[in-house]
Amino acid sequence: MKEDIRIRLAEKKDINRIIELCKAHAEYEKSAYDIAGKAESLEGYLFEPNPGLHCLVVEKENEVLGYSTFMKQFSTWDSHYYIYLDCLYLEPEIRGFGIGEKMMEEVKAYAESENCKAIQWQTPDFNHRAIKFYKRIGATAKTKERFTWDL
């Protein structure tokens, strides 16, 4: 399976498929997702001259089957930059083949190239498979409540 997949930076042609994957990701995490306006907005953020958001896609036989989005942020407590991994999602049929680990390695390489000292992310507490995966690759968990203040 790993031999016939390719991980690459997203291109404009991928936007609609990424939105479909975002919707599947939200459903998997038991969240609502409204696709209205998302393609135009995401395209703007990913492909502006100095993008703050980056996206990798997993491609197999010219079909995008997964994605990962991430951005550089700063931690005042740690006094260094880190990468915030916003999303990592793979279609069910490509899970369990080491592709998620390869995606994480790509994000790690980017983080190192940006002189970041860590990668942070979150996953729902019911996503036991993801938690097991993250622990297997050496990540540690911190318990916090995440709040959202809609504006």
Tell me the C-alpha to C-alpha distance, in Å, between residue 139 and each of 43, 93, 133, 134, 142. 30, 24, 9, 5, 10
Task: Give me the number of domains the chain comprises.
Answer: 1
Find the CATH number of the domain harbouring 40: 3.40.630.30
Residue 105 belongs to domain spanning: 2-136
Note whether 58 and 5 are within 8 A (CB).
yes
**Alpha carbons 36 and 122: distance in angstroms, whole number:** 25
Is residue 148 domain-resident?
A: no
pLDDT tens string 43-78: 999 999 999 999 999 999 999 999 999 999 999 999
> What's the predicted TM-score (pTM) here?
0.89
Kindly indicate the confidence band of residue 2, based on its pLDDT and cuts at 50, 70 and 90.
low
Centroid of chain to Cα 97: 17
Q: State pLDDT tens for residues 73-110.
A: 999 999 999 999 999 999 999 999 999 999 999 999 99
